[in-house]
Structure 1
Amino acid sequence: MCAAITGLRRPPDGLTDSKLLTPKRRTALAKVLEGWVTAHALGHASPEEIDDMGMTSALRLAASRALEQLPVRPDAVILDGKHDYLGNPWQVRTVIQGDRSCVAVAAASVIAKVRRDRMMAELGADHAHFAFAANAGYPSPVHQAALKEWGPTPYHRLTWAYLDALPRWRHLKKARTWATGGIPEIEGQLDFDL
């Protein structure tokens, strides 16, 4: 999760939703953005925290960690999407596809994705069968085949439904014990930053 504060300067050329950029362009743009933004900070939730509290609460935790690391407290927070998973004490505005319409959200998206991909590549060095450098933790065919053969790593969430389809490893699955508090639970891939 990345929190970014931007000024009123012209954004770097090509700034958009990180998913619309090639990995090479995204990496180059992230270097520019880290100098262009007024401030940015990253926050993470561990797989264990996600398993213990659920994805929505873990998103709140990661976002709070990022926001608390900023050198100044923002007056308002723009969240990409339709759910306010952050809540009080922050003044929050949600924007669907905010990473395509808001430069601060787009900048945070690019910086977070590049950092996450780098982290996944580093994890892949110790878990080569999973091809984390290529799939960034998403459930690609190679990733799914590795899960079937080798089971989950310490970096996989054990409440994720992937274990349902893996009889050999199903015994490792943790039951979900958390409630979403009326907010739809946001399911995802192996996540460190969202």
Structure 2
Amino acid sequence: MPHIQRSNILKMIKDQAPEDRKINAFPGPYKLECTPYHKLDFNKVTYRKCLEENKNTAASWFKLCKVIIIGDVSVGKTCIVNRALCYILVIVVVFDLNNMDSLSHSKTWLHEALSSSSSTCPFIFLVGSKLDLLKKYAYKNMEINAMNVAKKLNAEYWAISSKTGKNINNLFYRIAALTFDDSIKNELQLKQKVEIGTELI
């Protein structure tokens, strides 16, 4: 029998997701005081939708979201991706925790991403990388500056290390939960609008 290499998409089409890919509780932010997204649980309609008996194929449950990861050169963007949905857009602005200049460039990167985005209200994350290279006292000073910038950008702040993997999974679980919940809510709202319009016709 010839060997057939399965694509990443085919590998995703399973009745049950691997345990390490399941989100059983809504992930919280890195810093509760530095996020514009104060949702700490899934929407009730999301719970109802997920609890309904699904008669469709597993593929129909895919909720895709485009995630844009931007930032200066050598701040760790590729490492973040390697460590680890299409109307919802997530913008992850990455900066180097060891480089104040890269933090100051975050506003420019975000502006460019927003100007090329068709989404009117994307989820925005300001992510400081290379956490493993900072001493505790140095990080505290940078964190204060980063959180101030995040609040000005209306972004949720995270500090991660691609080298050690610290906070990487938590960051992507948080993104997945926020976007999935929003996707289900908007999908059901759109369906209700269509049904109402049909009845009027």
Query: TM class, shorter-chain normalised?
Result: under 0.3
Richer in strand (by share): 2
Rg larger in 1 or in 2?
A: 2
Normalising by structure 1, we get a TM-score of 0.26
**TM-score, with structure 2 as normaliser:** 0.25
